[in-house]
Amino acid sequence: MNLKEILDNARAGGGLTYAQVLALLALDPDSADAQALCIAAHEASLFWSRGWGYIWASIGIDSVPCPVNCSFCSLGERWGIVKERRTLQANEVLKRIRFCDVPEVRWIVLRTTAFYSVDALVCIARLAMPLNYAELVVNTGEMSEETARVLHDAGFRRAYHTMRLREGKDTGVDITERLETLRAIRNSPLELSSLIEPIGPEHTNEEIAGSLFLHKTLGATIMGAMARFAVPGTPKYGFGAITQSRLAQITAVTRLAVGKQACGVCTHPTDERIVRSGANTVVLEYGAIPRDTEISESEWLGFTVQNASKLLRDAGYKMMRCDPG
């Protein structure tokens, strides 16, 4: 593998082939070659994004036992972690939306369990409109193209949906239904956001590459990677988590592979290295969080808008709600 030639071609807009993605994912994450990969992805990200950095603020609406029983999620009914059902009322959700609707936040995500009421989401979106700065994103269960259009008409501009790694094996989701939803979103006015997730140490380079190219083919305009959090009490807890250097490597490969198609490359959890490895979008979380056993009444893990803005600015990004051009 001629690493310099591959990176130069990718930065010039040539993207990466499947074989090149596998080769780059096979690098030692702590090697000099991986560092060169991350530097190339950061340079490309600054150029393709025209220097804009973004914040994705996610609000978990309901903390209830979920019958889908994903083996990495604290909300799975079988794991018995959720002892008390709690669903935010519309006025509570609106309060959090207004709190997040600041110039630095580009997207406000309403995240729910799989069978949360679409009618309730429509009601909340209509009450929230108009927002001063951010755009609303829906992150919920499976949907038809008609439902996607209803959500768009209510005020949502984007949907987060992804074919998770080992979907149907580590989750209770039917792969065919998940793919139908992804295509329904693609064919609707909603923009699609999809991350490679949740990545654990057991996932192969082939699985990661397959997820990357699937979501690229489906037209996702926000892509990236999310590490699996080791949540006590879930079946995946004993598998542990990937390192931040591995997550930075996967982020860098994603940035170079998707090129200009993605306005944002998002990685969670983030740190200084990752926002210098191709990520220009970082995540804040509130409320019910599938990566934790407790509801977060304020910013999860104390990671605030100010923290996120500083990380992005220190990496060379400009901050505002959207690219003005």
Provide mean pLDDT across the span 80-84.
Answer: 92
Tokens for 313, please give them: 């600015």
pLDDT above 70 (res 170): yes
Helix axes of 145-154 and 118-128: crossing angle, nearest 10 degrees: 30
Q: State the pTM of this model.
A: 0.96
pLDDT given for residue 296 in this prediction: 86
Average pLDDT, the chain: 95
pLDDT for residue 325 is more than 70 = no
CATH architecture designation of domain 3-319: Alpha-Beta Barrel (3.20)
Whether 324 has a pLDDT exceeding 60, the answer reads: no
> What pLDDT, in 10s, does the model give residues 301-317?
889 999 999 999 999 99
Map out the domains of the chain as residue ranges: 3-319
Whole-angstrom Cα Rg for the chain? 19
**Average pLDDT rounded to a whole number, residues 37-50:** 96
Residue with tokens 């104390």: 302
pLDDT tops 80 at residue 321? no
- How far is the C-alpha of 186 from the C-alpha of 45, rounded, in Å? 24
CA distance 202 to 198: 11
